[in-house]
């Protein structure tokens, strides 16, 4: 999509292409917490919570 933005930057389609691009980027960030891309953050949080619980228990 970025290449398309570079190609159409001097035309009247720049506004439409930019709106589509920004919509896709915003959509990606909105669905990211529900996708597999954030699994590493959830795993890190679980490991830290487990380490904290083990430290308190001992």
Tokens representing residue 29 in the block: 């960030």
DSSP assignment, residue 34?
Answer: G
Say what the pLDDT of residue 25 is. Answer: 93
**Mean of the per-residue pLDDT values for the chain?**
88
Does the pTM surpass 0.75? The reply is no
Say what the pLDDT of residue 38 is. Answer: 81
Please give the residue that has the higher pLDDT: either 41 or 54: 54
Q: For 41, how many CA atoms within 13 A lie in the half-sphere containing its CB?
A: 7
Q: Is the pLDDT of residue 2 over 90?
A: no
């Amino acid at each position: 999509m970025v290449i398309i933005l570079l190609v159409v930057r001097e035309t009247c389609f720049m506004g439409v292409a930019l709106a589509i691009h920004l919509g896709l980027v915003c959509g990606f960030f909105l669905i990211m917490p529900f996708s597999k891309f954030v699994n590493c953050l959830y795993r890190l949080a679980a490991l830290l919570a487990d380490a904290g619980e083990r430290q308190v228990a001992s």
